[in-house]
Each structure stands twice: as structure tokens, then as C-alpha cells.
Amino acid sequence: MLDNIISYFDMCQCEGTSLQRGMNFRLRGGHSVILMSVRANAPYRDRVEEDGSVLIYEGHDLPRSTSGPDPKSVDQPEFLSAGRRTDNGKFHHAAQEYKNGNKGPDLVQVYEKINKGIWADNGFFHLLDSWIEHDGTRRVFKFKLVAVTAPEEPSLAVVTNPSPEIRRRIIPTQIKLAVWKRDAGKCIMCGATDELHFDHILPFSKGGTSLKEDNVQLLCARHNLEKSAKIQ
């Protein structure tokens, strides 16, 4: 569920697989999954733009090995030595196919690591573009994804009729961290520490914002549902 606090174990349960990589292309032939982080010590340079509606996601490095070079010193790979595409290559190919008008955008579920052991469900995005840029040391992949409302069929890999009206915004990481600290990682109503959700005090539909921590609070699933039922 969007904006839920979720454990790594629960993420794997939701997706039906072990999410050992940050990039997971078309799991079981359906939507893709990526794990992101914009923390200062994150291994990749992900960033969120346009007030939270656009994610610029960095591709991933070669696996580290004892005999190979430092993965941060070489270009991010598009192909494996056997000629098959890496996850970078798969996402890049899919983005370019959409950009060239050959298909709809791929559907991507995004989970964000906001602190040690704390993940947030950032919901679904459309993969719209990709490119390769030089970061001063080597060539890296960049992917542009736009946050969208939950699809009716999340099992799909490719969206056939995307609409620009379904954009949404995610809560910025700094707001999530500030709210988590302020509310002490507990539901403000009952003190529960499980099934937590970042809740907008004043909903978007009534002019609320994600950009100020005083409009976001932690609620457990029960109190979040109770509040939602009262909003007309």
C-alpha cells in the first residue's frame, strides 16, 4: 500500500521473490521492481525532482569480486560477457522502445530505503526515458520514472494507454525522516509500531501537501482506515 512503512521481508513477500538486487526487471513477466535511496551514504545517486513526481534513478554496477576491478571505477555494464543484457540493459532497452513509440511505458514498483531497516512503499511509476552520462569517473545509466496512481492491473509489465492525468507526488525523504523522528516510529493515536503509514493530515484532494512535515503523521493501518472513512 502506498506510503506504508514496510520491512525487507514483507517487500519480498509482496513481490513473491527475494529482492537481492536493486533492479529487478519484469518479475514473473509482470511489473518491474527497483529499490532506491537518496540518503547521503547511498551507493547510487538517485534523486527526486518536480516536487516529488519524477524519479531519476541511477543504474547499477558490476558485482564486486575479489579478482576484478573496483565496480565504481568502471563503466556500468549494458551487456554481460555472454552477450545478454544486464538489468541496466533491460531497463534501458525498454525505456528507448517507449521513447521511440514502439510500446507503452513499463510499469515499475519502487521501494525506498529511508533508514536502516526502514523502507517505504513509494508506489508505481512509469519508465519514460533513459540515457548514459559521465559522472567524472565513468559512464553510468540514468532512468527517468514518473509517479502514477495505482494501476488497475499491477501484474502488467507494459502500460498500453498511459494518461498524463494520473501523475502523483511522493513524500520527500527528508519529510519522512523528520516525521519518523518526531512521532518516534509509532502511531500517534495508539502507539503501535507495526503496519505504519505516512498519512497526510489534510489530503491532496483538499489542498494538502507532502512538502511540509506538519501535514504528515504516522498512523497504524487501523487508525489510517478509520480516518479515511471519515473524510468526505
CB 218 within 8 A of CB 179: yes
**Residues 48-84 pLDDT 10s:** 998 789 999 999 998 888 888 899 999 999 999 889 9
**Residues 191-220 pLDDT 10s:** 999 999 999 999 877 888 888 999 999 999
Residue 131 has pLDDT above 90, yes or no: yes
SS3 of 138, please? coil
Count of Cβ atoms closer than 10 Å to residue 220 Cβ: 22
Q: How far apart, in Å, are the Cα atoms of 52 and each of 170, 175, 182, 192?
A: 5, 11, 22, 28
Superfamily of domain 5-170 in the CATH hierarchy:
SRA-YDG (2.30.280.10)
Q: Where are the domains of the chain?
A: 5-170, 171-232
Top pLDDT among 207 and 163 is at 207
Q: What's the number of CA atoms in the CB half-sphere (13 Å) around residue 196? A: 25
* Beta-strand runs (E) in the chain: 5-6, 23-24, 32-36, 47-49, 54-58, 106-115, 118-134, 139-147, 196-200, 216-220
- pLDDT score recorded for residue 117: 82
Residue 155 has pLDDT above 80, yes or no: no
- pLDDT score recorded for residue 232: 46
- pLDDT score recorded for residue 164: 55
Query: In angstroms, how far is CA 203 from the centroid of its own chain?
Result: 21
Residue 229 has pLDDT above 70, yes or no: no
- pLDDT score recorded for residue 64: 86
In degrees and rounded to multiples of 5, residue 106 shows phi and psi of: -70, 150
- pLDDT score recorded for residue 162: 66
Range with lowest mean pLDDT among 126-135, 148-157, 192-201, 202-211: 148-157
Q: How far apart, in Å, are the Cα atoms of 43 and each of 46, 113, 216?
A: 9, 12, 28
Mean predicted lDDT score pLDDT of the chain: 90
**Residues 80-105 pLDDT 10s:** 988 999 999 999 999 999 999 999 99
